């Protein structure tokens, strides 16, 4: 089953590279069929039924803090608790800092499921977690670098069941709506070092991006060339952010890239670069940025929440076990949904009888 399943010259050169990339994408847009299991050639073999999954996530703006209303609250709800945004890179062997084995990733999901966690996309966290069922604890799975091990197609066009996408989908097929296929992939827009953007199989780049979108997952920017934005010029920063967003959106017409993860956790000298900018004809806007470290993040309703500095937990055997165990022993510190997108519930409020 698993086997199936700068500086002018620099920018001039970079610009030419982008043009070339866009031309390639243009050909791909023509040659790759629309992404549907019955047409695009991607198939996913599974022995279990595929439940119907709603792809329409509700949205609750962070700027709108719900006003508490009279009525019974879900016992134990705490929408001011911490949230884990898990940071993965490669899925494969052997286990190391930047690589989680398939079995260990499966074990991560199993432990999360058994602990009452519920997967959401990164954008859902930024927008206020409106679609988390009562009693559930939101968790965000994020993947950096668009490595092939995250989404690999086998020679027969089946999704590799040992790739991140294969594992996520199979887990969903097993647990249905209790574990929807939600994850955020921060992808590169160009070939960088040992990475072949986008997911290592250029002929399938469009199909893969569209497939993720169709499944309800999120695709965000990791810049074009994995550039450290903390040491980049203003022009380079805007080039990286504008072009990467453009490239992704060309691969999935109608889709809006809303979030990013700055490589190396490198913040530019002003976070205004993350919010909006322009390079030549390419303009961009982002609503959130995932940091590369920091541990669990605060709730989007906590005054300390910074949407462009959302901390993440880099997944290693030691750290994921540490934090899962910590929250098992201190459940009152984690975000627990009340299931109602129109109000904000937290223990102090309940104790005061509000």
Residues 246, 249, 253, 256, CA torsion sign: negative
Place of tokens 């490239």: 247
Band of residue 303 on the pLDDT scale cut at 50, 70, 90: very high
More confident: 119 or 189: 119
How remote is the C-alpha of 313 from its chain's centroid? 13
What pLDDT, on the 0 to 100 scale, is given for residue 247? Answer: 95
Interval 22-55: pLDDT, tens: 433 333 332 333 233 333 445 443 333 332 222 2
Give percent of the chain above pLDDT 90.
73
pTM: 0.80
Residue 314, pLDDT > 90, answer yes
Q: Cα separation of 112 and 178, whole Å?
A: 11
Residue 31: its pLDDT value, please? 33
Average pLDDT over residues 243-265: 97
Q: 192-227: per-residue pLDDT in tens?
A: 555 567 999 999 999 999 999 999 999 999 999 999
Q: Where are the domains of the chain?
A: 8-46+74-351
Extract the runs of DSSP E, i.e. beta strands, from 13-98.
84-88, 90-91
Cβ neighbours of residue 266 under 8 Å, at least 6 residues apart?
227, 228, 229, 230, 231, 232
Neighbours of 156 (CB within 10 A): 9
Per-residue confidence (pLDDT) for residue 192, from 0 to 100: 58
* Superfamily name with CATH number, domain 8-46+74-351: Glycoside hydrolase/deacetylase (3.20.20.370)
Tell which phi-psi region holds residue 342, choosing left (phi > 0), alpha (psi between -120 and 50) or beta: alpha
User: What's the pLDDT score for residue 326?
Assistant: 98
Q: What pLDDT shows up at residue 190?
A: 80
Q: Is residue 263 scored above 80 in pLDDT?
A: yes
- How far is residue 241 from each of residues 222, 263, 274, 293, 300, measured CA to CA in Å? 8, 11, 8, 21, 24
Among 150, 114, 137, residue whose Cα is nearest residue 336: 137
Flag the least confident range among 150-159, 305-314, 339-348.
339-348
Which tens digits make up the pLDDT trace of 124-181?
999 999 999 999 999 999 999 999 999 999 999 999 999 999 999 999 999 999 999 9
Q: Alpha helix (H) ranges present in 215-293? A: 234-251, 272-275
d(CA 354, CA 72): 10
Q: What percent of the chain has pLDDT over 70?
A: 75
Per-residue pLDDT at 347: 83
- Of the pLDDT bands very low, low, confident and very high (cuts 50, 70, 90), residue 322 is very high
Q: At what angle do helices 234-251 and 205-214 cross, to 10 degrees?
A: 80
Q: Is a pLDDT exceeding 70 seen at residue 323?
A: yes
pLDDT at residue 346, as a whole number: 87
Residue 249 has pLDDT above 70, yes or no: yes
How far apart are the two ends of the chain, measured CA to CA in Å? 52
User: Is residue 351's pLDDT more than 70?
Assistant: no
pLDDT digits (tens, 9 = 90+) for 83-102: 999 999 999 999 999 999 99
């Amino acid at each position: 089953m698993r086997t199936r399943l700068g500086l002018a010259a620099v920018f001039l050169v970079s610009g030419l590279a982008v043009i070339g990339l866009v031309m390639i994408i243009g050909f791909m847009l023509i040659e790759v069929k629309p992404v549907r299991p019955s047409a695009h050639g991607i198939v996913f073999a599974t022995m279990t039924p595929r439940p119907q999954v709603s792809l329409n996530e509700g949205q609750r703006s962070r700027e709108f803090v719900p006003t508490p209303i009279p009525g019974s609250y879900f016992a134990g709800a705490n929408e001011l608790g911490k949230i884990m945004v898990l940071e993965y890179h490669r899925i494969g062997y052997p286990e190391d800092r930047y690589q989680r084995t398939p079995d260990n990733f499966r074990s991560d999901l199993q432990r999360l499921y058994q602990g009452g966690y519920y997967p959401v996309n990164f954008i859902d966290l930024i927008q206020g977690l409106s679609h988390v069922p009562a009693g559930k604890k939101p968790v965000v799975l994020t993947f950096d670098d668009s490595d092939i091990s995250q989404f690999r197609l086998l020679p027969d066009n089946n999704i590799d069941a040992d790739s991140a996408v294969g594992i996520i989908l199979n887990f969903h097929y097993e647990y249905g709506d209790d574990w929807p296929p939600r994850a955020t992939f921060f992808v590169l827009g160009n070939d960088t070092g040992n990475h072949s953007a986008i997911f290592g199989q250029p002929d399938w780049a469009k199909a893969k991006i569209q497939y993720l979108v169709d499944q309800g997952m999120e695709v965000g920017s990791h810049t074009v060339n994995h550039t450290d934005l903390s040491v980049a010029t203003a022009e380079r920063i805007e080039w990286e952010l504008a072009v990467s967003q453009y490239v992704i959106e060309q691969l999935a017409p109608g889709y809006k890239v809303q979030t990013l993860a700055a490589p190396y956790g490198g913040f530019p000298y002003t976070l205004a670069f993350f919010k909006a900018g322009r390079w030549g004809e390419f303009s961009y806007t982002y609503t959130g940025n995932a940091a590369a470290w920091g541990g669990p993040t605060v709730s989007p309703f906590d005054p300390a929440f910074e949407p462009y500095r959302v901390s993440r937990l880099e997944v290693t055997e030691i750290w994921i076990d540490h934090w899962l165990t910590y929250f098992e022993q201190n459940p009152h510190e984690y975000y627990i949904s009340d299931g109602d997108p129109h109000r904000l519930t937290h223990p102090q409020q309940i104790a005061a009888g509000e």
